[in-house]
A and B are shown apart, each in its own frame.
Chain A
């Protein structure tokens, strides 16, 4: 059913009119959300979309190229600090600063890609972990970066203040539109990259790097490129994240965050574009919202409070956050290795072949 007859069919953005229709409907919904959703959910959506950008980028590395990174919080931090400091210290307009910070992150991604040429599996995981931790401590150590106290993000001015063309985004809803547009562009870009020669090289490296080298793929270039692209995404996401929060310190970007990012990609589904999006939405919502306020959910909340006071430690219900996230991870790995995207594929197949 997903048979492609020519090249154009493979690269086009919308596979059919049905897909086009639903994509447009989704876009309209996304752009309309600030008009009816409560303010808090808009803020939450901002965080969700930042995580979507990052997860899509991380998936280029983990899902498509088959490399692992436990250091993406480091790139995230580079993006956040890079954007804010370029704006604060050099008065560079936001758009330029954001892109520039993305490229700084990409450069560090390239550097991390170099050892990745010789390291695999757990060794690469440890190397990238070390990178993430090092970034956190270097930033914390240097007073130039604001030290451990952290820094306040400057006003989010998407115009060019030097030309008197200021346009400062203040409310969460205004930031929502900015992030939404960036997120859409980044997701489309990721999809397009995977349809090019570069994308196919990534997949070839994932499936077998020796075979890939034999058919003429330069491993040095493509492996470091995968790291650079992935880091660029993390950098852009980080730059936006800084403004969503308005304030950040080095320990915001800790090791747990790197692991949560990986959880998003794995739970969502490796090697797809829709997968990490779904993963980022689900995990962010659970971690930042639902599991924090679960005690106030009617019926279920009371039940969990009773259970927790009977069986849990003195921390009580708060442990539920880690417990549920852990269970989801285990469940996905055992029952649905393709993640949420795998579930979606099965639903699709079921309806396409219905009633058989």
Chain B
């Protein structure tokens, strides 16, 4: 054969193979003995502290399995480390769906990676309950399989601003926000609330997530003379902000959202500066005396004594609860449709987080958060119970 003919043959062969390669269906995700559930998140790398969510869910499933499982089926739980890197998020999710044949995903700690995950999981009809990144573009447009049980970042910011203005009677509020979708959501929430009071923030300062020298940012905020500064940034940035402000003698009321509300940790890494900071939170306080919190806390001492009983760990328990509840109600004859039906009819469902209401047309099930204050030694003080964001934009039809 001449070389050109070899080429033509090769091209035709490859095109033929391209046509032959087609898609196949995913499995059903359970059998008579087990239901397979997965979760992904950063267990190693810089974001590793958030990995406690994955271990929290592990505890919840272990509890269920020790109670004999659900209708004779045990939960088999897969944890996957994605190091908070979208490339690895996609890989581990594909592995969970295509190799382990999972029924559902609970939680899932990923920022940008979640958006990529959403399309893929929807295509494969995998139920996904409680992603911890409460970004608007993750929940909306709604899919039949994704259920959200944390308030959106913008709702949290709105609730925080409401508390500062109405309860603390503050007039001058500044915001420092991370320059990404998380920070932008905080900005939107604060603006929405202030607009209701016909007020304006005295300063809105964006910050890059990787910036470490925040002196000029803090100076700008100080010069605006705010009474309260809301931080919608990553924990490291928040701590650097407080330290920088302390060195120039700037002491406003600091405030933040749930990502900054792990008080023992924040208190420790800020060298005690975190004391007095106000946060929103979508989990009951760690030392709460609610029976269900007490039950989980005891279980943690028994099964995972090396683990710290903190906010993120509790988050893991929180996201696992609705799936267990739906599996129980769906009965012995299990199917994705049966579980979806139960999830879609969740009314006033509450465990260790906010009250959840899901319906067929609304999968953003939560609009409220608590207000906490960091006490001495990183103790949690509840300033205000569950507070709704009555302005939530997604509720309007």
Contact = CB atoms under 8 A, between A and B. Distances in A.
B246 interface: no
B348 to A, nearest CB: 34
B99 to A, nearest CB: 5
A34 B24 CA distance: 12
A176 B95 CA distance: 17
B307 A247 contact: no
Contacts of B208: 137, 140-141
Given A40-B97, A256-B45, 10 more contacts: A31-B17, A47-B87, A137-B210, A150-B112, A171-B23, A247-B112, A292-B81, A315-B43, A315-B48, A318-B51
A96 to B, nearest CB: 18
Interface of A: 31, 34-35, 38-40, 43-44, 47, 137, 140-141, 147-150, 152, 167, 169-171, 173-174, 176-178, 181, 241, 245-249, 251-252, 254, 256, 288-289, 292-293, 295-296, 314-316, 318-319, 321-322
Contacts of B51: 315, 318
A44 B120 CA distance: 16
Contacts of B100: 296
A114 B47 CA distance: 36
B179 A254 contact: no
Given A177-B21, A249-B112, A315-B48, A148 B98 contact: no
- Centre residue among B18, B98, B210 by max chain A CB count within 10 A: B18
Contact of B81 (A47, A178, A241, A318): A318
Contact of A292 (B45, B86, B92, B98): B92
B181 interface: yes
Contacts of A319: 44
Contacts of A137: 208, 210
A318 B51 CA distance: 10
Contact of A177 (B17, B115, B181): B17
Interface string B96-127: 01111000000000011101100110000000
A288 B91 contact: yes
Nearest to B84: A251
Contact of B94 (A40, A149, A181, A295): A40
Given A176-B21, A247-B86, A149 B180 contact: yes
The interface residues of chain A, by DSSP majority, are classed as: helix
A248 B86 contact: yes
Nearest to B210: A137
Given A150-B86, A252-B86, A315 B21 contact: no
A177 B14 contact: yes
Interface string B7-26: 00000011001101111100
27 contacts: A34-B17, A34-B21, A39-B94, A39-B98, A40-B98, A43-B91, A43-B94, A44-B91, A137-B208, A137-B210, A140-B208, A148-B179, A148-B181, A167-B18, A169-B18, A177-B14, A245-B86, A246-B90, A246-B120, A247-B115, A249-B112, A251-B84, A251-B86, A254-B85, A293-B78, A316-B43, A318-B44
B116 A245 contact: yes
A246 B116 contact: yes
Nearest to A44: B91
A40 B88 CA distance: 13
A171 B43 contact: no
Contact of A293 (B17, B95, B98): B95
Contact of A181 (B14, B23, B48, B78): B14
B81 A152 contact: no
A147 B18 contact: no
Contacts of A241: 87
Given A174-B21, A181-B14, A246-B116, A314 B91 contact: no
Contact of B87 (A141, A148, A248, A289): A248
A148 B180 contact: yes
Contacts of A167: 18
Contacts of A140: 208
Closest 6 CB pairs of A and B: A247-B116, A173-B21, A40-B98, A318-B43, A148-B180, A249-B112
Contacts of B17: 31, 34, 177
Nearest to B76: A296
Nearest to A167: B18
A233 to B, nearest CB: 18
B57 to A, nearest CB: 14
Contact of A171 (B22, B88, B210): B22
A246 B119 contact: yes
A38 B44 CA distance: 28
- Centre residue among B79, B112, B209, B308 by max chain A CB count within 10 A: B112
B88 A288 contact: yes
